Amino acid sequence: MVVRLSMRLLAVAGVAMALVSPSAGLAPKVKVEQPPGFNMHSLHLYAPLSMSAMAAAYYGYDKKKLPVAALAPLLVLAAMLDWKASQYRALVKDNEVDIDGYTNSQPSLTERAKIVSIHGLSTGSHKRSLEAHKLAMTSSPFVPGLLASKLLADGLQPLKLGTAEEKPIVVGTIRMGFGHHRIAYSASSWALGGGSQTVFHDFLAIDSPEANLIKDADALYSRGSRLASELGGVVEKIWGSLTKSGDATSLRITNQLAECLRPLMLDLPKDTPIIATHSLVGLAAVACGFKNVINLVIDNYAQWFVVVPGAVNLVQGPTNFHQLSKMGIPEADIRLAGHWCPKDMVDNIDADCTTRIQRRAQKKPLRLLIPVGGAGAQRKFVTKFLLALKDEIKAGHVQVMLNAGDHKHMKTAFLETLAKMGITESAAAATEGMQIVDSIDGVRDFCTRLRDGAEPTKGVTLFAFDDYFPAVATTDLLARVADVLCAKPSELAFYPVPKLNIRRVGDHEAYSALRSSEVGDGSLEVREADEAVSWVQMMRERNSILDTMNKCIMANAKQGAYDGCKVAVELAQQMAGYSSSGQQAKAKPAAARAKSPADTLD
């Protein structure tokens, strides 16, 4: 009897789950509607399931019916699952964004349990708040004219945005790895160039409980990236699959965290245009009621996780635009913009590419820029790559610019590897020597010398820093004087520099290498060090390889392929109603603001 009752309860749950299949006619929406009095989420089965588990255990052990007793732990597991799932409705009831409606889907019982559980693990005892953290603004010590936000404290100037004549724009980001920050600096360069008062708003720069929530999540991501890169095999496959699993459930989980981050945005005026380079920033802005929100969609792989409902989502390539559109994102919420690249790099594309072509014609040494990512992964691959390049470096055929960023473990690993290769600071021969640059001023001087026609004084130049900004900015500065950028296919895969796209960290990055190859400015992903060296030799011996990449870059630039951040800034100014004279005109409604991909290419 107990078994039949338990099976009937489970069957009821199964039927109820079937009733929540997505409705084809459900219109996407952002604002949550008042929940109905009863729906699938109101059906709680954990109490009868728990009672059934106790009955099964008692009956099975008392009557020595082991199959019945074995059913008890399964019923307990089902009860726990249903108990967690039953908390979903209460969790989302105060949300500003209805993810279920926006994605035209309803989470299953297991998905609801997953959302509640992960949110609990990621936030712990943190209580959602609507009390704004008061912000201050300071001048960036690294970028002239750029303002940076931080938590207001004694001696700091309260953040006050300028008038419409100053066309204020907030570029919101999160210092998780280098990618989101790099894109934010790229957007800021175009905003400053367009005459806007530009505030760099990094959530992690606001010392607060909300920032600590993000730091904990970032620590887990960085650890996962390093383990996948170091161990490879099964671990790499599991990590790769996780980076491609950004479905609607992932968006729901991200949005719940974003709801907790609202105090980091609430001190900003609601009519301020926000350019978000991390979806958490965009989601938090929309949840706060900001109407002029632009989300710069990362990578080239379509998944709900990177989308911000209620924002204009700009994408870098047509494939991603098509796939995201097919997923059901409203037409007014998505637009093809171009790649996220810094203004200085885009403005100098023709000159830099022409210089590279001339260098190949003159058979100059091939300059390779090899940066590491913000998570500090890739140690194993890059050290193998360096060892395989030993003969090319010592023969003077290749010059290496190696950016260890602010990762001390990477600097140590590189120094040890270079010592094994017989390359040291004290070596007499230039091709066996190494120079270390540890300041942003040193980087700028190095680049100026190379642009003036000089060569690096040593075969290997190692860049390593204590601070975060130089670690990010150095790659952008060196890219202009490099012949080839050798990096994992992350945000750098979209840069207007000839690229050797090396081993990815996360399966989603493979699609960024594909984009690079399709537009002709880079290779497909190269996963082994020996194969990477073969590519280097081919690029050095066959001028046509790099000549073609450079010519493709110049042609792409004429089509606006690298103007993504420029488009974002122009759209932000338009959404805010800023006129070319700096006066504030009446902002257009969202439907009127959104343009088709063809408009971007005019």
pLDDT for the residue numbered 506: 75
Report the C-alpha dihedral over residues 187, 188, 191, 197, rounded to 10 degrees.
150
Crossing angle (nearest 10°) for helices 529-541 and 379-388: 50
Predicted pLDDT of residue 84: 78
Which range has the worst mean pLDDT, 399-408, 423-432, 521-530? Answer: 423-432
| 274 Cβ neighbours under 8 A, 6+ residues apart | 170, 172, 268, 281, 282, 285, 290, 292, 293, 294, 572
Task: Flag whether pLDDT at 46 surpasses 70.
Answer: no
Owner of token pair 């720069």:
205
Question: Both tokens of residue 361?
Answer: 């014609």
pTM of the model: 0.84
Q: What is the mean pLDDT of the chain?
A: 84
pLDDT digits (tens, 9 = 90+) for 91-142: 999 999 999 999 999 998 888 888 898 888 888 889 899 999 999 999 999 9
In which band, very low, low, confident or very high, does the pLDDT at 379 lie, cut at 50, 70 and 90?
confident
* Direct distance between the N- and C-terminal alpha carbons of the chain, in angstroms, rounded to an integer: 72
Under CATH, what is the fold of the domain 349-558?
Answer: Rossmann fold (3.40.50)
How would residue 579 be classed by pLDDT, with cut points 50, 70 and 90? confident
More confident residue, 228 or 98: 98
**CB 23: neighbour CB atoms within 10 A?**
11
pLDDT tens for 286-305 read 999 999 999 999 999 999 99
Q: Does the pLDDT at position 553 exceed 70?
A: yes
E strand residue ranges, 222-318: 274-276, 293-296, 312-315
pLDDT 10s digits, 68-91? 555 656 655 666 677 778 889 889
pLDDT in tens, 473-508: 999 999 999 999 999 999 999 999 999 999 987 788
Comparing 391 with 231, which gets the higher pLDDT?
391
Q: What is the DSSP letter of 496?
A: S
- What pLDDT shows up at residue 245? 58
Tokens representing 222 are 């960085």
- The answer on pLDDT for 457 being more than 70 is yes
Q: Who wins on pLDDT, 230 or 365?
A: 365
Contacts of 88 (CB under 8 A, 6+ apart): 41, 107, 112, 113, 115, 116
Beta bridge partners of 405: 464
Helices (H), 304-431: 318-327, 343-347, 349-361, 379-388, 390-394, 408-420
Query: For the chain, which residues make up each domain, given as ranges?
Result: 1-18+41-86, 135-212+246-341+565-600, 349-558
pLDDT at 59 over 70: no
